[in-house]
Amino acid sequence: MTTLIAQIQARSLDVPDEAVPMGGVARLETVHLGETTVNRVTFQPGFRWSEHVKPSAGTDLCRVRHLGYVVSGRSGIRMADGTERELAAGDVFDVPPGHDAWVIGDEPYVAVDFSLATDAAAPAPTAHAPAPPKDHTMLLENDRVRVLASLLSRRHEARGRHCPG
């Protein structure tokens, strides 16, 4: 019989494993804690997923489930069925795949998302959202960071630049 010993893990998002700036409108920072991935996203005023990410993602709506906590700012969320919700500092959220998101007001929106490697096996609902392009790697439930990091990294490599991180 094998006995697993749980260990405390702690990391700072201020020293992320990966950090991906996106054209001055967003920054994604990722820390891995065993099978858990923690992502901090900062969206500047004026950010809108359908304007700033959709062209790179190749999908009409975000295909990622987001489970997390809003640190500061406000964001609007619109689901494929037209349902809208506002998220604000202090809110805990679970946003399913198939949504658009944007910053409300003049304050940056900062949120922390959590995902478990075991969640990756759960298929995302496909009723309103098309399958992601074949070149996207769906690593974790919160693959927004991975997909964007991969796309941005490829773009920078194609131009001969190094993507910081």
pLDDT in tens, 68-109: 999 999 999 999 999 999 999 999 999 999 999 999 999 999
Q: Considering the domain boundaries, does residue 31 fall inside one?
A: yes
Q: Considering the domain boundaries, does residue 5 fall inside one?
A: no
Q: Considering the domain boundaries, does residue 124 fall inside one?
A: no
- Domain count of the fold of the chain: 1
So what's the pLDDT on residue 69? 98
Q: Considering the domain boundaries, does residue 99 fall inside one?
A: yes
CATH of the domain at 142: 2.60.120.10
Q: Which are the contacts of 100, defined by CB distance < 8 A and separation ≥ 6?
A: 48, 49, 50, 61, 62, 77, 78
Q: Considering the domain boundaries, does residue 88 fall inside one?
A: yes
3-state SS assignment for residue 157: helix
d(Cα 90, Cα 76) in Å, to the nearest integer?
Answer: 15
Q: Considering the domain boundaries, does residue 23 fall inside one?
A: yes
**pTM beyond 0.85:** no
Backbone angles phi, psi at 124, to 5 degrees: -80, 145
Q: Considering the domain boundaries, does residue 40 fall inside one?
A: yes
- Residue 93 CB neighbours (<10 A): 15
pLDDT in tens, 13-53: 999 999 998 878 999 999 999 889 999 999 999 999 999 98
Q: Considering the domain boundaries, does residue 64 fall inside one?
A: yes
Range of the domain at 35: 18-118+137-149
d(Cα 89, Cα 66) in Å, to the nearest integer?
Answer: 16
